[in-house]
Structure 1
């Protein structure tokens, strides 16, 4: 095996494929054709003398050899990126944390944490992006981000099955709620009975990365009538405010619901809980990463949503 001729482009493509889980998604993210991505992967596998990616029906995942190459490739790419930042006058790697988050945490928790960090740690530079839980788990594995806020639903399995397991901490566990137009008959009470959700019209969003359909109350014993789809939570809530239908929301989003929306708990049937997890790779974190994690934990504890029908914590 000989890595002396492996280009930085090939390393970046390899990281993108590992992060996005498919050649197609990696190609789109980098602005390449799928054939160009395939050529770069073939080149790096020739240099390694081993198969680095296991091709599966639902995408690709790193092999044992692939994890070794990814670990080393991440070091090389991080050093190049740190050099670029230093040359352009941006904060150095020691003061930079790369954070990923699921859309529901981007509405309340992330802005609050970043505001607190600007106040307490003005030299700490946080960069990040929104994504689905499977994509963010792959980004952690590929070294593209340092920390991730991930969503978890029953039965609360780990976000991936790769080894070693990600270090996970539950920041919040809240009941799933339903957002109802203020003029809707269901909005007259302090909560919604699950039986009254049958026959309703729903606003949903099918997220990328394997998170599945979001917006319909889980476990309804009927085929739901989906009237509109929207990608982000805020758009769905504004569609609810316009009287277009109902949608499900984590309780944490009650604080940012627009006028014309009531966020209500649902009674009857099994309670639908949702967890927000803080995830990282299982090695001792840098000081800056630990600081961001501490602020996220504190802000998650301070965030206390109280939609109608939900008891306040004692």
Structure 2
């Protein structure tokens, strides 16, 4: 089977990103160039590797086999390149993906603790939405993904094999209000008091819907500002732009000018932060990072 390293890298990007357009953007080339490389790889293997669908591409059973071999081959090439350059092989490297709501406060704390206890482990991270991170995990472009989860707390995807998912923490949802807001004078508010206010919300990323509006409000909410970034949302709250709902593990990251309150009444709103990975025994560096993330989650 005559295949090129370029073709393997293009195939890995397509599997990770889920569309040929997104893979082309990541690689800095055209979609037609990506299509040609994948077509050449399919001719070389004698089988279809990707299922073309209206919403993107998905790996065929043969595609999963080729992807596993491609990742191993590319990793070996990268290791050889580092060795020839006189660089360490980085046997202790871990690749972590995280959703902003789950990782904004947990990831920095866990990495700081890991540097103290296991300074030889190198961790690289990326932020993204749940669907993109899960695709990257299944494409073996990430070792672990840290995700936020809302009821009914289903699995991150329906792919095969099922991902191994570990709940790090489950906490109640909280309300962030400007410090000068009339609701800010108490430690908690009733859910009925949330009617008629302006909200700072995040556009849906496939993670939790419209993130920021208190779930189950019996009115059409007035959205004053939209932002996906949690820090931006909280600073908009501090500036008096509106209210926003936040997972409890983010309360330690709120800026000055914001008060965080509990909400009484209505359904009990809970959120989880979970770790997902492919099944099988984790390598030692991955296991140590899991321990650090679990410890960080318990402290929040």
TM interval, shorter chain, is over 0.9
Instruction: Select which of 119, 122, 127 maps to 1:122.
Output: 119
Whole-Å Cα distance in 2 between the matches of residues 189 and 251 of structure 1? 17
Q: Does 1:27 align with 2:24?
A: yes
Comparing 192-201 with 147-156, greater Cα deviation is found at 192-201
Which residue of 2 is the match for residue 8 of structure 1?
A: 5
Instruction: Select which of 172, 176, 187 maps to 1:179.
Output: 176
Whole-Å Cα distance in 2 between the matches of residues 268 and 255 of structure 1? 24
Instruction: Select which of 67, 70, 94 maps to 2:67.
Output: 70
Which residue of 2 is the match for residue 268 of structure 1?
A: 265
Structure 1 residues 190 and 16: CA distance shift in structure 2, 3 A: same
Comparing 25-34 with 130-139, greater Cα deviation is found at 25-34
Q: Does the CA contact (< 8 Å) of 2:199 and 2:225 recur in 1?
A: yes
How does the TM-score come out when normalised to structure 1?
0.89
Structure 1 residues 96 and 132: CA distance shift in structure 2, 3 A: same
In the TM superposition, residue 209 of structure 1 has moved relative to its aligned partner by: 5.7
In the TM superposition, residue 92 of structure 1 has moved relative to its aligned partner by: 2.2
Which residue of 1 is the match for residue 129 of structure 2?
A: 132
Q: Does the CA contact (< 8 Å) of 2:17 and 2:135 recur in 1?
A: yes
Q: Write out per-residue CA displacement over residues 145-184 of structure 1, whole angstroms, 9 at most, x where no aligned residue.
A: 1111111111111101111111111001111222111111
Structure 1 residues 262 and 90: CA distance shift in structure 2, 3 A: farther
4+ residue segments displaced more than 6 Å: none
**SS across alignment from 1:282:** coil
How does the TM-score come out when normalised to structure 2?
0.93
Whole-Å Cα distance in 1 between the matches of residues 214 and 187 of structure 2? 18
Whole-Å Cα distance in 2 between the matches of residues 210 and 29 of structure 1? 22
Which residue of 2 is the match for residue 250 of structure 1?
A: 247
Q: Provide the alpha-carbon RMSD of the alignment.
A: 1.8
- Aligned counterparts, 1:185-204, within 5 A: 185-204=182-201
Which residue of 1 is the match for residue 167 of structure 2?
A: 170
- Aligned counterparts, 1:43-192, within 5 A: 43-192=40-189
Paired residues in the alignment total 300
Q: Does 1:300 align with 2:278?
A: no
Q: Does 1:225 align with 2:238?
A: no
In the TM superposition, residue 49 of structure 1 has moved relative to its aligned partner by: 2.4
Identify unmatched segments of 5+ residues in structure 2.
none
In the TM superposition, residue 131 of structure 1 has moved relative to its aligned partner by: 1.2
Whole-Å Cα distance in 2 between the matches of residues 222 and 42 of structure 1? 51
Q: Does the CA contact (< 8 Å) of 1:91 and 1:123 recur in 2?
A: no
